[in-house]
Structure 1
Amino acid sequence: MGIARVGTWLLLAMTLPLAASATDDPAPAIANGKMLYEARCAGCHDRASDRTPSRDILAHNPPAFILNAMRGVMAPMAAGLSDDEMKAVALYLGAAAAPEPGDPNPNAIWGPSSAQMPLDGPRCEGPPPPIDLSAAQWNGWSLRPDNARYQPNPGFAAADVPRLKVKWAFHYPGSKNGQATVIGNRLYVTSMSGAVYALDARSGCVYWRFDSLAATRSSVSIGPIANRPGHRYALYFSDWTKSAVAIDAETGEPLWRTKVDDSSGLQMTGSPTLYNGVLLVPISTGNEAYARNDDYVCCKFIGSLVALDANSGEILWKTYTTDKKPEPYRLNAKGRQMWGPSGGSIWSAPTIDPARGLIYVATSNSHTDAFHDGADSVIAMDFKTGAIRWKNQLLKDDNYINGCPAAANCPHPVGPDFALGDSVILHTLKDGKQMLIAGQKSGDVYALDPDADGKIVWRHRLSSGSALGGVEFGSAADDDNVYVGISDVVNFRDPKPGLTAIRIADGAILWNTPAPGTPCRWSNIFCSGAISMAVTAISGVAFAASMDGHFRAYATADGSIVWDFNTSADPITDVLGKPAYGGVMDGAGPTIVNGMVYVHSGYAGRSTANIRDLKGREGNLLIAFSVDGR
């Protein structure tokens, strides 16, 4: 999925001289950072092409966010730098987004210590209610392990949807966050700031905040935990320390942390799936962004799925998307050794097939022209052992890195970057026959036969696709149909953003509703009707959000828009009583439970027209809707 998931992470290919200490007078460090940026970074970011973030996009992120990127996902590009050297670059790039002069918090630039971390909302009065796993819930990426993103008991009727109004909004640091997990009246949400919050689902007050060691954007799952005296339920997620993490779901107390991979540039993006005491963690990378640097050793990463014992954190098995190990195979355009195969990231939550004892994953593109048989594939793995039972490669030789054809590490030929980035849906027809539904950035939607090693039953190409086009974060399926959002935000040939309904039994296209063109608070390519965020459905209605900040409900009978709420044009009063803005809507989708609809608005610095528009208007809101706002 590549930079479509990397977003605003920095492409910092540089070697910095010693910087002035950024914790004293920041001016010398800023000046040094400016000089270094112009010498080593401006060539890419001042003339940004492809999906490389521009200088303006980078500047929308505060220094602490940029510094965390260099310490975490961008560590390969910042290798060998001292902390002060990284702070110098972060101060220069993020100067416009830094706290105002005179901020009473002495750590305002780099963030408070863990003991000073704010709750970002009012503390709830009284103790939280006990966890009841039999209560109404949305637990993990989807309500069920089939990953259909369908809520049969939403707590309101389809006829009530036009009356949905904001009940509360939670404004907090981070971007590209996980979606809400709800168990009864408890709500959990993660943040790219590294924070995990436990909120009251009805009011948005905060019970506790846990600060992980690095950014996390995976949706959390809750389950019972054994052999831990005093602990009944665990909350599971992954973070960018390359680890799976378990904390106490009632108190936020740490339970275990297990590193699941040690590859360079690892990104933990897909949500883990919890099933029968096993935590399944997908592994992905930012290699195709890093490989734009001609000095980067391209490319040794292979995507994988890791199974852990949910009680202990012990790794049970690990299966790579190809059994071929990366080996030296040719020199790049500057004479440096290249490795391959590489790629095949798993960007999405694994899907469980209990009857067959299988797990289904969808994979991303290859990074080199050394053949990778598991790239752009749907793969079935044995739940107990991880053994690959079958593999259907839907597109061969999709070899891609950023910056081609100029980058020395470019594969030959360069592929279109048509990853499968959404979770596979396991659908059961009324006659008991099952199909697997998969979407691709090419704009293709497939129905595969799980009884015939994933043979294609039907296929539709809903758009010409692009690197940020086609199907991105996921579709939703009810009893009969699948509802597919098309992004095409950077498709300059024939973009077709919108929502399409397909009857699963025979592949008939029932309707297509093009995305309405609407103005935005910002003026850039992300002022778009692109539907990249995952779709969610209830009986009679499909909920889909677009990058222009609109959150809409579509009648599943005919595709008509029955409700439209602009999350980003005007400020929304948050739970602290302060005005806050939403923004671009992308990534993890809405969750629906107990008469409430929860959705994020705001995504990684994309929602500002210019630097002056940043202060107070760059959105990152979790918005809760209910009928009449009750």
Structure 2
Amino acid sequence: MKLRNPITAGVLGLGAGGAALAIAALATPMLAPAAVGQVSPDHPGAGVYQKACAVCHDNPGATRAAAISAIKLMPAARLNEVLAPTGIMGPMAASLTPKEKTDLVAWLTAGQATAPAQWTDALLCSADKRGVSASASIVSLGFGVDASQTRSLSAAQAGISKAQLGNLSVAWAIAFPGQGSGTGASVLSDGTLFVTGGQRLIAVDAATGCVKWAYAANSRNTPALGEINGRKVLALSVARDIHVVDAANGALIWKASGQPVDGTGGSIRGGVIFAKDKIIVPLSASGVAAGMNPRFECCTGHGSVVALNAADGSHAWEYHTMPEATYNGQVNSLGVKQQGPSGAPIWSVPVFDAKRNLVIVTSGENTSHPGTDTSDAVIALNAGTGRVAWKFQAMAADIWNMSCSVETGQNGPNCPVLFGGDGRDYDFGAGAVLTSANGKDIVLAGQKSGHAWALDADSGKVLWSQRVGEGTALGGVHWGIATYGGKLILPINDPALGGTNPKAKPGVFTFDVATGKPGWSYAATANCEGARATAVSGCTSRYGFSAAPVVVDGAIVGATLGGEVIILDGADGRMINRIDTVGPIPTLNKDVAGKGGSIDAHSISAGAGMIFINSGYGQFGQTAGNVLIAYKPK
């Protein structure tokens, strides 16, 4: 196969004590924000914001956009990335001149304190503590924890027991410059964990929180830990590329495009996985945000999967959820032509079924007409060729983009519901899980509609389904599920978008894997006592379980948008522990202020005798923050 843009790099000695900072050649430069100070009210960027951004970002509760307070915590590099033509806000920013974009980013970052360009220098381990054991085994290989993506660890694997989880204390915390991105950690048995944040991939000594090495990487992925030719490596996306680095020292092994050969490609939100000799890359292009621009010819972009050869990053195969969009004959109320099909993005982390040599992905909704049979679906692909082995569509005609407001009926000109269909944004944001019961292999999946699905791993045929509540555009099931001991663990978010949601059922629910029979459940409640009433954004309406849980020794470690870690006994749902992470957090790197907030996405991890929580997630009008907190038994 042809190798596309392979780049290798060494390790440069930088910072205090000759700190090893691995920097990929041609990597996006680190952009420090302006020094903190008074921002002029007539700053030109303020006018750009009011013209192009305020209508959504000043009203995050209704639009699901990030709040302006959260955006002002983002580093300049991230802002430039989302405003670029290929970024999620690219179509919305298309009318801005280069100067207007520069002014906007300058205004948004003007109030930020200047973080050290090499902020990890203050956290470096002593020279004799920077080693990563070559013989260490993998405890958690990334988001899924294990190859079946069960997100479950035994007491021996995690180094911590259910009994110990009831009495935890903070071991250490690290503050990331900018805003937290909800990433999780991969873990080795020697006590090294790998996590992204603050435009770095870092290797951390779990016992002390010191940093063994740092690699420049502006990524929102939980790094995938695997092996290539007997060497442990980490794979993650940086913008539209895939980087593979040596787990021992952070040296770049190779870098290659993660984009398909055909079509326009897209962002890589969920994270990559290893599948034998391949690295599987899910892409989440869809035009879902671009549809908010009534002058945009909505919509273009679709989900796809790219397989790279793990040895060198060369392209192996690609799969597309649909063909490229063309004009579909529809015209919006402003006379703008519409395009389609589009959507069916793959936001989630794939799972590899080694027994059947299948890569299983889950997809999102269509964003314009015509609808396809690949949206809101679970799709199994041959890992050698990318051809579809089977697919299951949970909801047809779910055609939706962010110009729609199903709750209020105030739909923008590009809302596809105006042209037909039943757009609810009930996609699969959570990846599938492989398990078995009574000798049958089963694929489990959780949907934002609140559905739990059990599918035959051989055919994709539905074995059973259950539903909790009626779901919302942010879940239902949002980022992930877990399984252990014959139980499916189903976290339900159900925020009250737009005010109230009388049918909401936020909490944690369990089902028997073999039969679908409901087990115990835990109903979430809002905690708005004292300072939390104002510290937690939307405290009375956003307290559900959106983040993917982790099972440790039969205990369910979950967390809420209200910033609380909730640990439940997997046997009966009894609460074992409840920990509040919201507010200022003392950190090892005192030159970066630490703050906890909403816990979302992939934020919960375990291993090395600890629980790791990435607290702070300012998307969707939630509570921003920027800390990785390690909890240990007292």
Bin of the TM-score, shorter chain as denominator length: 0.7 to 0.9
Q: Of residues 597, 600, 604 in structure 1, which corresponds to 2:618?
A: 604
- How far residue 466 of structure 1 moved from its aligned partner, in angstroms, is 0.5
Distance in 2 (alpha carbons) for counterparts of 1:406 and 1:577: 45
The yes-or-no answer on 1:206 pairing with 2:219 is: no
Contact 1:444/1:461 (CA < 8 Å) preserved in 2? yes
> In the alignment, which residue of structure 2 is the partner of 1:500?
509
* Cross-structure match for 1:471: 477
- Cα offsets for 1:335-382 (capped at 9, x unmatched): 222221111111111111111111111110000121211000011111
Contact persistence 1:121–1:204 (CA under 8 A):
no
Partner-residue secondary structure (3-state), 1:386: coil
Match in the other structure for 1:435: 442
Residue 244 of structure 1 is matched in structure 2 by 242
> Which residue of 2 is the match for residue 15 of structure 1?
none
Q: Please report how far the alpha carbon of residue 27 of structure 1 lies from its aligned counterpart in structure 2 after TM superposition.
A: 7.0
Distance 1:284 1:130, change over 3 A: same
Structure 1 residue aligned with 2:387: 387
| Alignment correspondent of 1:124 | 125
Name 2:596's counterpart in structure 1: 582
**TM-score, structure 1 as length reference:** 0.85
Q: CA RMSD in A?
A: 2.7
For these two proteins, the number of residue pairs brought into alignment is: 573
Task: Tell me the CA shift for residue 45 of structure 1.
Answer: 3.7
2:439 counterpart of 1:425: no
Q: Deviations over 1:365-424 (max 9, x none)?
A: 000121211000011111111110111111001001112254222212350100111111
CA separation in 1, counterparts of 2:83 and 2:557?
Answer: 36
Kept in 1: contact 2:125–2:210 (CA 8 A): yes
Mark the CA change 1:553 to 1:34 in structure 2 (over 3 Å): closer, same or farther.
same
| Counterpart residue identity of residue 124, structure 2 | R
Give 2:10's aligned residue: none
Letter in 1 for 2:49: Y
Give the Å deviation of 1:574. Answer: 3.4
Q: Deviations over 1:231-259 (max 9, x none)?
A: 9432210122x111112222222222222
Task: Please name the residue that 1:33 is paired with.
Answer: 45
Q: For residues 121 and 342 of structure 2, what CA distance do their matches in structure 1 show?
A: 41
Instruction: Tell me the distance in 2 between the aligned counterparts of 1:542 and 1:141.
Output: 16
The farther-off stretch of 346-355 and 618-627 is 618-627
> 1:168 touches 1:575 (CA, 8 Å); kept in 2?
no
The alpha carbon displacement at 1:598 in A equals 1.3
Question: How far apart are 1:571 and its partner, in Å?
Answer: 2.9
Q: Does 1:197 align with 2:202?
A: yes
Shift of residue 581, structure 1, vs aligned partner = 2.3
Answer yes or no: is the 8 Å Cα contact 1:485–1:535 preserved in 2.
yes
Moved more, 261-270 or 358-367: 261-270
Partner of 1:234: 233
Mapped pair 1:547 → 2:561: yes
For residue 48 of structure 2, give the secondary structure of its aligned residue in structure 1: helix
Task: Check whether the contact 2:380–2:389 (CA below 8 A) recurs between aligned residues.
Answer: yes
Counterpart check, 1:557 vs 2:571: yes
Instruction: Quote the Cα distance in structure 2 between the aligned partners of 1:524 and 1:256.
Output: 41
Call closer, same or farther: CA 1:55–1:157 in 2, change over 3 Å.
closer
In structure 2, the CA distance between the partners of 1:43 and 1:510, relative to structure 1 (3 Å rule), is: closer
Contact 1:60 1:605 in 2 (8 A): no
How far apart, CA to CA, are the structure 1 residues paired with 2:88 and 2:215? 21
Counterpart in 1 of 2:399?
A: 399
Where structure 2 has 5 or more consecutive residues not aligned to the other structure, the ranges are: 1-33, 405-409
Tell me whether 1:187 sits opposite 2:185 in the alignment: no
Q: Can you give the 5+ residue segments of structure 1 that lack an aligned partner in the other structure?
A: 1-21, 100-107, 610-617
Q: Determine whether 1:163 maps to 2:178.
A: no
* SS of equivalent to 1:464: coil
Aligned CA distance change for structure 1 residues 487 and 170 (closer, same or farther; 3 Å): same
Q: Which amino acid aligns with 1:351?
A: V
Q: Which residue of 2 is the match for residue 484 of structure 1?
A: 490
Residue 158 and residue 608 in structure 1: after superposition, are their counterparts in 2 closer, same or farther (change >3 A)? closer
Q: Identify the residue that residue 631 of structure 2 maps to in structure 1.
A: 625
- CA 1:560–1:126 in 2, change beyond 3 Å: closer, same or farther? same
CA 1:526/1:588 → structure 2, altered by over 3 Å: closer, same or farther?
Answer: farther
Q: Which residue of 2 aligns with 1:536?
A: 550
Q: Which has the higher contact order (CA 8 A, sep 6+)?
A: 2
The whole-number CA distance in structure 2 between the counterparts of 1:37 and 1:580 is: 27
Q: Is the 8 A contact 2:475 2:494 kept in 1?
A: yes
Deviations 1:530-570 (A, max 9, x none): 10000111232111000111111101111111111111145
1:450 corresponds to = 457
Alpha-carbon separation, structure 1, partners of 2:442 and 2:330: 43
Distance 1:94 1:331, change over 3 A: farther
Give how far 1:40 is off. 3.6
Normalised by the size of structure 2, how large is the TM-score? 0.84
For the Cα contact (< 8 Å) 1:534–1:590, is it kept in 2?
A: yes
Residue equivalent to 2:83 = 70
- Kept in 1, the 8 Å contact 2:598–2:622? The answer is no
